[in-house]
Amino acid sequence: MKDYERAKKLGLTNKDRWDLGIKHHPKSIRLMEFLSEHDVKDYHMHFDWKYGGDGDNGEALMFQMDAFFELLDKDGNDKEKNR
C-alpha cells in the first residue's frame, strides 16, 4: 500500500487540523522554514511561501506535510515499510 493510502486509512489526511488546534509536526515547521528561505534566496520567490495565517499557501503545505510526518512516526520512520 502506498504512503497516501496508508495515511488515508489511518485518518491522517482528513483531520481538520486547523479547527482541532493540532500543532504542526516539528519536521513540518523545520522543512517549511528551510523551503521558505531557499525559495527567497535561491529561487527569486518562485513559490512566495507564506505561513502563519489562515489560508496561506505554506500553511496548507504544512498541514499536508504533517500528515506525512505523522505517518512516518507511526511507521517508526521506516520509509520502505508496506510499500
Residue ranges making up the domain that contains 57: 3-74
Q: What is the pLDDT of residues 5-41, one digit of tens each?
A: 999 999 999 999 989 999 999 999 999 999 999 999 9
- Number of structural domains, the chain? 1
Is residue 22, in this structure, part of any structural domain at all? yes
pTM: 0.86
Is residue 68, in this structure, part of any structural domain at all? yes
Long-range CB pairs of 18-23, under 8 A, 24+ apart, other chains included: 18/54, 18/63, 22/66
Is residue 82, in this structure, part of any structural domain at all? no
Is residue 80, in this structure, part of any structural domain at all? no
Q: What is the pLDDT of residues 42-55, one digit of tens each?
A: 999 999 999 987 78
Would you say residue 79 has pLDDT above 70?
no
Is residue 42, in this structure, part of any structural domain at all? yes
Contact 53, 47 (CB under 8 A): no
Is residue 19, in this structure, part of any structural domain at all? yes
